[in-house]
Amino acid sequence: MVVDEIRNAVRLREAGQAREARERLEALWPTVSRGGDPFAVCFLAHSLADLQDDLREQLRWHLVALEAADEITDERAAEQRVPGGRLGLYSLRLNLAEDYVRLGDDGRAAAHYRAGRDFVPFLGEESYGSGIRDGFDAYAAAHPDHLS
Protein backbone atom coordinates (compact mmCIF):
# COMPACT_ATOMS: atom_id res chain seq x y z
CA MET A 1 0.00 0.00 0.00
CA VAL A 2 1.40 3.38 -1.04
CA VAL A 3 0.45 5.10 2.24
CA ASP A 4 2.65 2.59 4.08
CA GLU A 5 5.51 3.40 1.72
CA ILE A 6 5.06 7.10 2.51
CA ARG A 7 5.08 6.31 6.23
CA ASN A 8 8.30 4.33 5.80
CA ALA A 9 9.91 7.31 4.07
CA VAL A 10 8.76 9.61 6.88
CA ARG A 11 10.39 7.24 9.37
CA LEU A 12 13.63 7.54 7.42
CA ARG A 13 13.43 11.32 7.67
CA GLU A 14 12.79 11.07 11.39
CA ALA A 15 15.84 8.80 11.68
CA GLY A 16 18.01 11.48 10.07
CA GLN A 17 18.08 9.95 6.58
CA ALA A 18 16.53 12.93 4.81
CA ARG A 19 18.14 12.35 1.41
CA GLU A 20 16.93 8.77 1.18
CA ALA A 21 13.47 9.77 2.42
CA ARG A 22 13.22 12.50 -0.21
CA GLU A 23 14.36 10.13 -2.97
CA ARG A 24 11.75 7.55 -1.99
CA LEU A 25 8.96 10.12 -1.81
CA GLU A 26 9.92 11.67 -5.13
CA ALA A 27 9.92 8.20 -6.70
CA LEU A 28 6.39 7.64 -5.40
CA TRP A 29 5.03 10.94 -6.71
CA PRO A 30 4.23 9.82 -10.30
CA THR A 31 2.16 6.90 -9.00
CA VAL A 32 0.50 8.84 -6.18
CA SER A 33 -0.35 11.86 -8.33
CA ARG A 34 -2.21 9.61 -10.78
CA GLY A 35 -3.63 7.21 -8.22
CA GLY A 36 -6.86 8.96 -7.32
CA ASP A 37 -6.31 8.92 -3.55
CA PRO A 38 -6.33 12.50 -2.27
CA PHE A 39 -5.16 11.32 1.16
CA ALA A 40 -2.00 9.80 -0.35
CA VAL A 41 -1.43 12.98 -2.39
CA CYS A 42 -1.87 15.16 0.70
CA PHE A 43 0.35 12.98 2.89
CA LEU A 44 3.10 12.65 0.31
CA ALA A 45 3.08 16.35 -0.62
CA HIS A 46 3.19 17.42 3.02
CA SER A 47 6.01 14.96 3.66
CA LEU A 48 7.95 16.22 0.64
CA ALA A 49 7.47 19.81 1.78
CA ASP A 50 9.25 18.95 5.02
CA LEU A 51 12.29 17.79 3.03
CA GLN A 52 12.79 20.82 0.80
CA ASP A 53 15.81 23.08 1.03
CA ASP A 54 14.22 25.72 -1.18
CA LEU A 55 11.45 27.68 0.56
CA ARG A 56 9.47 28.13 -2.66
CA GLU A 57 9.48 24.38 -3.22
CA GLN A 58 8.39 23.85 0.38
CA LEU A 59 5.51 26.27 -0.20
CA ARG A 60 4.60 24.60 -3.49
CA TRP A 61 4.34 21.16 -1.86
CA HIS A 62 2.31 22.54 1.05
CA LEU A 63 -0.11 24.09 -1.45
CA VAL A 64 -0.43 20.74 -3.25
CA ALA A 65 -1.16 19.10 0.12
CA LEU A 66 -3.81 21.69 0.98
CA GLU A 67 -5.53 21.29 -2.38
CA ALA A 68 -5.64 17.52 -1.91
CA ALA A 69 -6.98 17.93 1.65
CA ASP A 70 -10.05 19.60 0.18
CA GLU A 71 -10.87 16.33 -1.62
CA ILE A 72 -10.41 13.93 1.30
CA THR A 73 -13.62 12.45 2.64
CA ASP A 74 -14.48 12.04 6.30
CA GLU A 75 -14.45 8.28 5.78
CA ARG A 76 -10.94 8.26 4.28
CA ALA A 77 -9.60 10.46 7.08
CA ALA A 78 -11.16 8.16 9.68
CA GLU A 79 -9.77 5.09 7.91
CA GLN A 80 -6.30 6.63 8.14
CA ARG A 81 -6.88 7.67 11.77
CA VAL A 82 -6.19 11.33 11.03
CA PRO A 83 -6.20 13.23 14.34
CA GLY A 84 -9.23 15.50 14.22
CA GLY A 85 -10.56 13.71 11.15
CA ARG A 86 -10.77 15.44 7.81
CA LEU A 87 -10.95 18.87 9.44
CA GLY A 88 -7.75 18.19 11.38
CA LEU A 89 -5.90 18.21 8.07
CA TYR A 90 -6.35 21.94 7.85
CA SER A 91 -3.59 22.36 10.40
CA LEU A 92 -1.64 22.52 7.11
CA ARG A 93 -2.58 26.19 7.16
CA LEU A 94 0.00 26.73 9.92
CA ASN A 95 2.71 25.30 7.67
CA LEU A 96 1.60 27.64 4.90
CA ALA A 97 1.59 30.62 7.26
CA GLU A 98 5.14 29.80 8.31
CA ASP A 99 6.22 29.35 4.67
CA TYR A 100 4.81 32.74 3.71
CA VAL A 101 6.42 34.46 6.72
CA ARG A 102 9.82 33.10 5.70
CA LEU A 103 9.18 34.31 2.15
CA GLY A 104 8.25 37.78 3.39
CA ASP A 105 4.55 37.68 2.48
CA ASP A 106 2.91 38.64 5.77
CA GLY A 107 -0.52 39.16 4.18
CA ARG A 108 -0.80 35.59 2.94
CA ALA A 109 0.83 34.30 6.13
CA ALA A 110 -1.79 36.03 8.27
CA ALA A 111 -4.64 34.75 6.08
CA HIS A 112 -3.48 31.14 6.37
CA TYR A 113 -2.89 31.46 10.10
CA ARG A 114 -6.42 32.81 10.65
CA ALA A 115 -7.98 30.16 8.39
CA GLY A 116 -6.09 27.36 10.14
CA ARG A 117 -6.92 28.64 13.61
CA ASP A 118 -10.58 27.85 12.90
CA PHE A 119 -9.75 24.15 12.63
CA VAL A 120 -7.72 23.81 15.84
CA PRO A 121 -10.80 22.83 17.90
CA PHE A 122 -11.19 19.71 15.75
CA LEU A 123 -7.80 18.35 16.79
CA GLY A 124 -7.67 15.71 19.49
CA GLU A 125 -6.06 15.98 22.89
CA GLU A 126 -3.27 13.52 22.08
CA SER A 127 0.33 14.66 21.52
CA TYR A 128 -0.22 15.47 17.84
CA GLY A 129 -3.14 17.80 18.57
CA SER A 130 -1.30 19.37 21.48
CA GLY A 131 1.75 19.93 19.30
CA ILE A 132 -0.29 21.65 16.61
CA ARG A 133 -2.04 23.83 19.19
CA ASP A 134 1.38 24.75 20.61
CA GLY A 135 2.50 25.64 17.09
CA PHE A 136 -0.47 27.97 16.60
CA ASP A 137 0.20 29.55 20.01
CA ALA A 138 3.88 30.07 19.20
CA TYR A 139 2.98 31.58 15.83
CA ALA A 140 0.51 33.96 17.49
CA ALA A 141 3.12 35.02 20.04
CA ALA A 142 5.69 35.68 17.32
CA HIS A 143 3.25 37.42 14.96
CA PRO A 144 0.60 39.21 17.04
CA ASP A 145 -0.18 41.47 14.07
CA HIS A 146 -1.53 38.41 12.18
CA LEU A 147 -4.22 37.62 14.71
CA SER A 148 -7.03 39.75 13.32
Q: For 42-93, what is each residue's pLDDT tens digit?
A: 999 999 999 999 999 999 999 999 999 999 999 999 999 998 899 999 999 9
- pLDDT for residue 33 is more than 90: yes
- pLDDT for residue 124 is more than 90: no
Say if pTM beats, i.e. exceeds, 0.95: no
Please report the pLDDT score of residue 83 as a whole number: 87
* N residues, the chain: 148
Kindly report, residue by residue over 72-83, the tens digit of the pLDDT.
999 999 999 998
Please report the pLDDT score of residue 101 as a whole number: 97
Q: Which of 141, 123, 144 is nearest to 132 (CA)?
A: 123
